[in-house]
């Protein structure tokens, strides 16, 4: 497989063999050498063989090996001839990021930081499904939640009206059908609402460290020195089970529809098939669960901050900036060869980055474009970006989603042996609370690319623009 430098920060995998389109990867010269060390470039080429794929199979600079599709992969399919692949969404359906802004500065809460992070860790369950959430819901209520998404949280008192406006798709993916979600998936999800999960999921108290674009920052209500809170999690065991269930279904469906793929992890079925439509309905339900999960965590954050800082939780000045998906497939409209087409866009470890004036951007933000939230590792920085017209024209309105791993979890643990990681983080000015030291070892900063390098590349390519840099001061992890 060849990969050639097409232009600065853009690499091309030329169409060959069974590939229907080229592969395009965004990376620096230094980064591409690291990317070559795993199987993600081959995965980009594999994705390029899928029926109905349009323009190119894309890899973002945070690309790394994943299930079927690379993490950091984008592919858009024509609706009539194209396929839907669970591997193009991932096991954690609608894993995403929410950013909350406060009216507090670091100096105003610094002496309360330890208390805040301790209470957050106590009130928000973390880890692999061991600790049940204190939010109890019935099966009937769960089905309603899966169908309605964020609308359910308003009825239940977990959300403010304003929250829905600043969530991708207003927090409800249309077309969700709880009947397409297995009983096992529901059993796994019903006790996990309002929980972070494990691995790279986190809640961070951050301080706005740098502003790159004043107009955009002011529009978002972001200012230097301000305390913000970032939540990174997804659909928990429910979403994982939905993916597992439909991978099995799609493997059989490929034989039924005569589809051949170079890697069985790319199992798929036609978008308009019974299996394809059923998966899309179940995926939407799991995505709605993830939106609600982040909202319930938001509710808990407000209650903790209110109790520590002396506010009523309904009046605590903590507001949603935005909430983005980065594991999802959506039907969206784009121009291909001057023809307007509806396409199914798979974004796995990639974030939607719609431009200014796009009707899917909240009206308050329409002059600047869609906010893009890029979490980094717990020892360095995260970023706020905005989408661009070039992204809409070139990458189906998509950009990167995070830092991207460079060390496997096993290698990270090996390198962490004998080190006092909590002290190292404290020396960096970051308080860490975690379910276990294994997670801290797996998530140590050197396990990840530098998020600043990643966002600089997408800005240089022109598919999103930096607005602000956020520095962690306290972190809870699964």
DSSP secondary structure code for residue 347 in this structure: E
Residue among 201, 240, 326, 401 flagged as catalytic? 401
Task: Tell the residue number behind the tokens 């009130």, with chain if given.
Answer: 123
Place of tokens 């706005």: 208
CA nearest 331: which of 320, 347, 351? 347
Write the Ramachandran bin of 360: left for phi over 0, alpha for psi from -120 to 50, otherwise beta.
alpha
Q: Which residue has the tokens 């999800």?
A: 189
Q: Choose among 464, 470, 454, 458: nearest CA to 381.
A: 470
Round to whole Å and give the CA distance between 344 and 72.
17
Instruction: Evaluate whether 287 touches 325 at the Cβ level (below 8 Å).
Output: yes
Give strand pairing partners of 403. Answer: none
Give the tokens for residue 141: 């209520």
Does the annotation mark 401 as catalytic?
yes
Instruction: Indicate the SS3 state at residue 177.
Output: coil
CB atoms within 10 A of CB 184: 14
The answer to whether 178 touches 143, Cβ cutoff 8 Å, is yes
Q: Which SS3 state, helix, strand or coil, does residue 278 take?
A: helix
Q: What is the longest distance spanned by two Cα atoms in the chain?
A: 65
Residues tagged active-site: 401
């Amino acid at each position: 497989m060849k990969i050639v430098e097409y232009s600065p920060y853009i690499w091309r995998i030329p169409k060959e063999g069974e590939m229907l389109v080229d592969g395009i990867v965004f990376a620096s010269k230094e980064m591409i050498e690291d990317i070559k060390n795993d199987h993600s470039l081959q995965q980009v080429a594999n994705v390029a063989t899928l029926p109905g794929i349009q323009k190119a199979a894309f890899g973002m600079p945070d690309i790394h090996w994943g299930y079927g599709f690379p993490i950091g992969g984008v592919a858009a399919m024509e609706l009539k001839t194209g396929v839907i692949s669970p591997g193009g969404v991932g096991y954690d359906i609608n894993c995403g990021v929410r950013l909350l802004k406060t009216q507090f500065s670091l100096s105003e809460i610094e002496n309360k930081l330890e208390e805040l992070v301790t209470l957050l860790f106590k009130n928000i369950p973390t880890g692999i499904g061991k600790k049940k959430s204190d939010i109890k819901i019935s099966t009937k209520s769960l089905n309603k939640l899966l169908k309605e998404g964020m609308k359910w949280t308003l009825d239940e008192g977990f959300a403010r009206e304003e929250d829905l406006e600043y969530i991708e798709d207003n927090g409800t993916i249309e077309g969700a059908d709880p009947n397409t979600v297995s009983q096992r998936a529901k059993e796994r999800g019903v006790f996990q609402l309002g929980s972070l999960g494990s691995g790279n999921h986190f809640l961070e108290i951050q301080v706005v460290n740098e502003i790159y674009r004043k107009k955009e920052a002011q529009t978002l209500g972001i200012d230097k020195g301000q305390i913000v809170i970032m939540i990174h999690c997804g659909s928990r065991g429910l979403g994982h089970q939905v993916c597992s269930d439909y991978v099995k279904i799609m493997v059989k469906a490929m034989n039924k529809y005569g589809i051949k793929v170079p890697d069985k992890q790319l199992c798929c079925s036609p978008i308009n098939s019974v299996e394809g439509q059923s998966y899309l309905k179940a995926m939407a339900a799991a995505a709605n669960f993830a939106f609600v999960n982040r909202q319930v965590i938001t509710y808990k954050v407000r209650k903790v901050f209110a109790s520590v800082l002396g506010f009523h939780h309904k009046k605590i000045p903590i507001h949603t900036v935005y909430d983005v998906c980065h594991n999802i497939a959506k039907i969206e409209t784009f121009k291909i060869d001057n023809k307007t087409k509806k396409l199914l866009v798979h974004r796995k470890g990639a974030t939607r980055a719609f431009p200014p004036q796009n009707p899917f951007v909240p009206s308050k933000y329409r002059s600047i474009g869609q906010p893009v939230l890029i979490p980094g590792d717990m020892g360095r920085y995260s970023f706020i970006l905005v989408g661009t017209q070039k992204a809409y024209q070139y990458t189906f309105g998509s950009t990167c989603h995070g830092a991207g791993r460079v060390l496997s979890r096993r290698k990270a643990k090996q390198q962490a042996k004998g080190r006092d990681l909590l002290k190292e983080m404290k020396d960096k000015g970051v308080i860490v609370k975690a379910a276990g030291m294994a997670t801290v070892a797996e998530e140590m900063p050197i396990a990840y690319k530098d998020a600043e390098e990643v966002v600089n590349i997408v800005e240089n390519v022109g598919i999103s623009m930096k607005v602000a840099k956020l520095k962690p001061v306290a972190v809870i992890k699964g």
